[in-house]
Amino acid sequence: MFPSQNIEELKKDIRDNKAMALFLGAGTDFSSVYPEGHEFDGLRGKTLSWKYLLEELTEAACINNEEKNTLNNLANAPLKAAILKNRLGNSYIPIIRNWLYTRCNRRILTKSYDKFKQYKDNPTVENLKKVPFGSLFSIADFILRQTSIRTVITQNYNNFLSEAIKILLDNRGMSYSETRRKMIPLDVYAGWKEEPYNENCFFIYHVHGYIPPPSEMLPSKESNYIVLSDEEFYQLSKDVYSWQNATQLHFLTHHTCIILGLSLDDMTTARLLRHAKLENNSERVYWLRGGRDDPDGELLSRLKTEYYESQHLCIVNDAEGYQDLYHQILEELTANEK
- pLDDT recorded at residue 293: 56
Q: How many residues does the chain have?
A: 338
Phi, psi of 259 (to 5 degrees): -105, 125
Please, what's the b/e burial string for 11-48 (b: 16 or more CB within 10 A of its CB; e: otherwise)?
bebbeeebebbbbbbbbbbbbbbbeeeeebeeeeebeb
List of domains in the chain: 5-35+105-337 (3.40.50.1220), 49-103 (no CATH)
What's the farthest any 2 CA atoms get from each other in the chain?
62
What is the per-residue pLDDT across 257-287, written as a single tens digit (0 to 9) for each? 998 878 777 777 777 887 777 666 667 888 8
Q: Which amino acid is at 212?
A: P
- pLDDT recorded at residue 283: 79
- pLDDT recorded at residue 1: 43
What is the per-residue pLDDT across 33-92, written as a single tens digit (0 to 9) for each? 555 445 555 555 556 777 888 888 999 988 888 988 998 888 888 888 889 988 888 788
Interior angle at CA 270, CA 302 and CA 221, nearest 5: 150
Classify 226 in phi/psi space as left (phi over 0), alpha (psi -120 to 50) or beta.
Answer: beta
Let me know if 222 is exposed, middle or buried by CB neighbors in 10 A (0-12, 13-18, 19+): exposed
Q: To the nearest 10°, report the CA torsion of 174, 258, 28, 236.
A: 130
CB 153 within 8 A of CB 207: yes
Considering the entire predicted model, what is its pTM?
0.88
Give Cα 117 to chain centroid, integer Å.
22
Give Cα 208 to chain centroid, integer Å.
11
Residues of the chain with pLDDT under 70: 1-4, 27-47, 120-125, 127-129, 191, 193-197, 220-224, 278-282, 290-297, 319-323, 326-327, 330-338
Spatial separation of the C-alpha atoms in residues 10 and 15, rounded to whole Å: 9
Provide CB contacts within 8 A for 323, sequence distance 6+.
125, 128, 129, 134, 135, 138, 290
Give just the sign of the alpha carbon dihedral 171, 176, 177, 181: negative
- pLDDT recorded at residue 152: 96
- pLDDT recorded at residue 316: 82
Spatial separation of the C-alpha atoms in residues 177 and 146, rounded to whole Å: 9
